Structures are given as structure tokens and as C-alpha cells.
Amino acid sequence: MAALHLEPLPDDLLRWLEDRASANRSSASSEAVALLEQARHGEEGRRRHAAALERLRAARLALPDGAPDSVELVREGRQR
């Protein structure tokens, strides 16, 4: 397994990591790996969501010229 050394690591960041590791009953190293994995999965999720949104936008149907406005149709329906 590869190793990663971070220098210089600010004292407050190290304390935060150690506190988080203690709360999760793990080592600071294990906690750092877990945080990196969460960040990676978060990025992959954002990419998947962006791709799905783009597919939805591409599939959006364009209304033909002269099609009634949905807002107007709702207003007309409420007046009845």
C-alpha cells in the first residue's frame, strides 16, 4: 500500500483530525483515508448528477410555435 506524507500540516488541522479519529475510534491515518474516500465518492456523485441533468436538458421537448402557455391554461382553469 502506498504512503502519503503531508508536511507541513497545520496544528489545528491535526488536532481536528485526531479529535475526529478519537470520536470514531480510529487512528488519524485511518480517518484521513476515510475522508479522502468520502471526497472521492462525492466528486463521482456530482459528476453523475451533472451528466444526468445534461441528459434531461437534452431530452427536453420544445413546444411548437403557437402552443398555449401553461400558466395561462392554469389561470383559465381556475376561473371556471
In a domain, 19, yes or no: no
Q: What is the pLDDT of residue 68?
A: 86
Domain of 37 in residue numbering reads as 26-58
Q: What is the pLDDT of residue 18?
A: 96
In a domain, 67, yes or no: no
In a domain, 34, yes or no: yes
Q: What is the pLDDT of residue 43?
A: 93
What CA–CA distance (Å, rounded) separates 34 from 44? 15
In a domain, 78, yes or no: no
Residue environment code for 35-49, b if the CB has 16+ CB neighbours within 10 A, otherwise e: eeeeeeeeeeeeeee
Per residue in 50-80, pLDDT (tens digit) is 999 999 998 887 778 888 888 989 998 999 8
Per residue in 22-60, pLDDT (tens digit) is 999 999 999 999 999 999 999 999 999 999 999 999 888
Q: What is the pLDDT of residue 60?
A: 84
Instruction: Count structural domains, the chain.
Output: 1
